[in-house]
Amino acid sequence: MFRIGAHVSIADGFAAAVEREAELGGNCGQVFVGSPRGWAVSEVDEGDADAFRDAASEFDVSPWIVHGTYLINLATPKDDLATKSIECVQAELEATATLDIPYYVFHPGAHTGAGSETGIANVAERLSELDIPDGVMILLENTAGKGTTVGKRLPDLNEMVESSAYDYDDLGICLDTCHLFAAGYDFGDEAVMDDLVTEIDATVGLENVHYLHLNDSRHPLGSEKDEHEHIGEGAIGEAGFRRFITHDALRDKPMVLETPENEKGFAWNIETVKHLYAGD
């Protein structure tokens, strides 16, 4: 079954987030387990988890994914920030496990002048320090490449995994369309789309891509700017998205939207993706 959803708030509780997802027309979803711009992680008790699981089952919304706070930086050369990031990721992983959510995704971070090789090595080293709970997989998200962020290139994501103490049984990849496009990966015609799929398979492996973030881009190909736009209304466009989401190698992977929340909102974007997927 085609799984498409959006990032939803937990402000009214985890069960309410499931209901909100269903109202939007989604059948999978993404949440934070704390403030996206803070270090605090929400307390998740068994009552919260039971209510969430019951709602997800009732509305048939799955699989879910937790997005890590934006402050996490495993690539940093600063020991204090690295320690804080590791502790935060660990706490968010425990919350993810309590909710029985199978995936946790975060941005690898920035090397802030230490060099990309050092940044990538730092990510691998700090991933190795985590205790990944049973039933949870960490997904590394590709980045747009702005500034000193690491993870713009697919081989770099693979290096983070291969150089860590874990492997692709515990770690995986989440691909963001806006980030791919901003990093210079094109979906402009069938040939370049096939080239992208070939590179994904040759680096991280298609079987290790477990989730997709769908976002159009406000900026042109290769801009390295991470600014999301409504599906079909940015530089990727409807044709690019149709090509991406219907490709045989990607069409069965769960997809969530992180598009702007203004007058159109998530429901409009979910419906747009459904039409593109159906070939309308």
Q: Give 173's DSSP letter.
A: E
CA distance 277 to 226: 24
| Residue 155 near residue 203, CB atoms below 8 Å | yes
For 257, left (φ over 0), alpha (ψ -120 to 50), or beta?
beta
pLDDT tens digits, the chain, 280 residues: what are they?
899 999 999 999 999 999 999 999 999 999 999 989 899 999 899 999 999 999 999 999 999 999 999 999 999 999 999 999 999 999 999 999 999 999 999 999 999 999 999 999 999 999 999 999 999 999 999 999 999 999 999 999 999 999 999 999 999 999 999 999 999 999 989 999 999 999 999 999 999 999 999 999 999 999 999 999 999 999 999 999 999 999 999 999 999 999 998 889 999 999 999 999 998 7
Domains of the chain by range and CATH? 4-278 (3.20.20.150)
* Token pair of 243 as six digits: 């090509």
CA distance 189 to 192: 6
Phi and psi at residue 100, to the nearest 5°:
60, 35
